[in-house]
């Protein structure tokens, strides 16, 4: 994949930063591409060319936030980054995912309503803005840490169940009403129980 041009990267950062500022005061569905262009100082045509439509823009912002978590895992300090025990890294990662989902509830709802229409553009970078790549990393990281701590656990399935629960409507409603702390405690309790589970016997 060709490296993103410096001017394209600068425009992308300006557009996403402008979207962040607008989201602090407006619901996602109330923000137009024209508003984003005006706020970012980037030409409207460039905003449309880069992201395709509002759904593409919201998706890119959500994935950008998720990549910040990935960077923390790969290069940041422990317990998210390397240097902490696998158990501590896993629990910290689960907490961090809940924070990302909680922060992006309105974006997830907007994408769900719109069907997540992906932008079609010569400047589209699937590695940067592909939600499947984010899920693949999250799932793989959870699974690897689970297996390292308790090889008897079906790590792949458990990782899918944990991540799938965060897209549940009742869970998102609870996050909106109560914030992330209660969900963090519940998931930590579940994960700890799995990590401490004794091996199953086939006898």
Tell me the pLDDT band of 117, cut-offs 50, 70 and 90: very low
Contact residues for 95 (Cβ-Cβ < 8 A; gap 6+): 184, 188
Total-model pTM: 0.75
Q: Which two tokens stand for residue 171?
A: 């869970």
Q: How far apart are CA 77 and CA 3, in angstroms?
A: 27
Query: What separation in angstroms does the CA of 120 have from each of 49, 57, 123?
Result: 8, 12, 9
Domains, the chain, in order of start with CATH, read: 54-195 (1.10.357)
Q: How far apart are CA 6 and CA 135, in angstroms?
A: 27
DSSP-assigned beta bridge partners for residue 82: 84
* Comparison of pLDDT for 147 and 106, the residue scoring more: 147
Q: How far apart are CA 130 and CA 192, in angstroms?
A: 31
Number of Cβ atoms within 10 Å of the Cβ of 103: 13
Q: How far apart are CA 128 and CA 31, in angstroms?
A: 22
7-11, 25-29, 142-146, 153-157: segment of lowest average pLDDT: 25-29
47-82 pLDDT, tens per residue?
Answer: 999 999 888 888 888 888 888 899 999 999 999 999
78-97 pLDDT, tens per residue?
Answer: 999 999 999 999 999 999 99
Taking each helix axis from N to C terminus, what angle separates 44-51 and 33-40, rounded to the nearest 10 degrees?
Answer: 120
């Amino acid at each position: 994949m060709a490296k993103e041009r410096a001017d394209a990267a600068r425009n992308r950062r300006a557009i996403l930063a402008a979207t962040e500022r607008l989201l602090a005061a407006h619901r996602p569905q109330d923000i137009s591409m024209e508003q984003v262009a005006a706020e970012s100082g980037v030409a409207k045509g460039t905003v449309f060319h880069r992201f395709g439509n509002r759904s593409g823009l919201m998706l890119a912002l959500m994935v950008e936030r998720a990549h910040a978590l990935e960077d923390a895992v790969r290069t940041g300090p422990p317990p998210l980054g390397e240097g902490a025990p696998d158990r501590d890294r896993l629990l910290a990662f689960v907490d961090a995912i809940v924070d990302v989902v909680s922060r992006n509830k309105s974006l997830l709802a907007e994408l769900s309503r719109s069907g997540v229409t992906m932008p079609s553009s010569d400047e589209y970078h699937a590695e940067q803005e592909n939600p499947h790549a984010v899920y693949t990393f999250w799932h793989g990281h959870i699974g690897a840490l689970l297996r390292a701590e308790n090889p008897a656990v079906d790590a792949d399935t458990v990782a899918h169940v944990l991540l799938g629960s965060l897209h549940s409507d009742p869970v998102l409603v609870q996050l909106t009403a109560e914030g992330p702390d209660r969900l963090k405690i519940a998931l930590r309790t579940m994960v700890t129980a799995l990590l401490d589970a004794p091996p199953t016997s086939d006898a």
